[in-house]
Structure 1
Amino acid sequence: MRFMIIVKATAESERGDMPTEPLMAAMARYHEELARAGVLLDGSGLKPSAQGWRVRYGAGGARTTITDGPFTETKELIAGYTLIQVRDRDEALEWTRRFPNPRGEGLEAEIEVRPLYEMEDFAAVEGVEHFRDLEARR
């Protein structure tokens, strides 16, 4: 099973503040442990929303619009992620309990963990074979 560990954005991450050296070291150690265990698929920090944009699709054929960042609702933004592949939810929970505080020790922070859909979840959906073909080519 694949799980995404989502690091929530903060005012600091939205300003583009870089992590402290101790935090970078803790994150590096954690990701090295994941890699040694063979469960790390990917992980990265995201630049502030000021450097991004949103695409909004209109209902009923209404026009699609592009909105440049920054976006004001920090609590709805993502500052980074780690993607892991583990046996089950319990193993994912164990790894996420060890995730370093993304703001640094003693500071309030939040991560969110969500399972990813797998191809078998879409077995009954018409058109899924196109995605299976893409997956087979990777």
Structure 2
Amino acid sequence: MIIKATEHSEAGLTDGKDYREAMILYKKLLAKKGALLADEELHPSSTGLVITYPKEGEKPQVLAGPFPVNQDLIMEYILINVSTEDEALNWALRMPVPKVRGKYEIELRRLKEKIESIQDPKIKAMEASLQDHLNMLKKI
């Protein structure tokens, strides 16, 4: 789930206590159900850079933020493990929405499965073991 930036988030404003507490409870519920894999908030684009490659063979251009909100900036992402698109949609619809932000947008996208990985085989084995544990916890 990709939570888009707003003018409010780009200004670095924090949300009210009620919203923050609702998001904590929401993420705890995701974790309890074994669906939460990761969640991270991003700093406003004023602290970021964009690297643009204009044409083949040309040098990249580096632009410093802030960037306009209408460029579909990302404020936060929550990575969940679900079986169906409907399940992902149901989780997204349950996400608390702050009241003071105006327009609020959540985008749902799937991760691509990697055919080849450059990861160490030991890490792959640990990930498989972790996935087994997550599946076991979902059954509880």
Q: TM-score range by the shorter chain?
A: 0.7 to 0.9
Q: Which residue of 2 aligns with 1:85?
A: 81
Aligned length: 123
User: Is 2:19 the counterpart of 1:23?
Assistant: yes
User: The residue matched to 2:38 in structure 1 has which SS?
Assistant: strand
Residues 50-76 of structure 1 deviation map (CA, whole Å, 9 limit, x = unaligned): 000011123221111211100024451
Residues 62-115 of structure 1 deviation map (CA, whole Å, 9 limit, x = unaligned): 1112111000244511111111011121211111110111x3379431111111
Structure 2 gap ranges (5+):
125-140
CA separation in 2, counterparts of 1:93 and 1:105?
23
2:2 alignment counterpart:
6
Percent identical across equivalent pairs?
A: 36
- CA gap of 1:66–1:26, structure 2 versus 1, over 3 A, is same
Task: Report the AA paired with residue 114 of structure 1.
Answer: R
> 1:113-124 alignment to 2 at 5 Å?
113-119=108-114, 123=115
More strand by share: 1
2:119 aligns with 134
Q: Secondary structure at the match of 1:134?
A: coil
Q: Kindly report the root-mean-square deviation, in angstroms, between the aligned alpha carbons of the 2 structures.
A: 1.9
What is the distance in 2 between the residues matched to 1:78 and 1:49?
A: 9
User: Amino acid of the residue matched to residue 64 of structure 1?
Assistant: P
TM-score, scaled relative to structure 1: 0.80
Q: Which runs of no fewer than 5 residues in structure 1 stay unpaired? A: 124-128
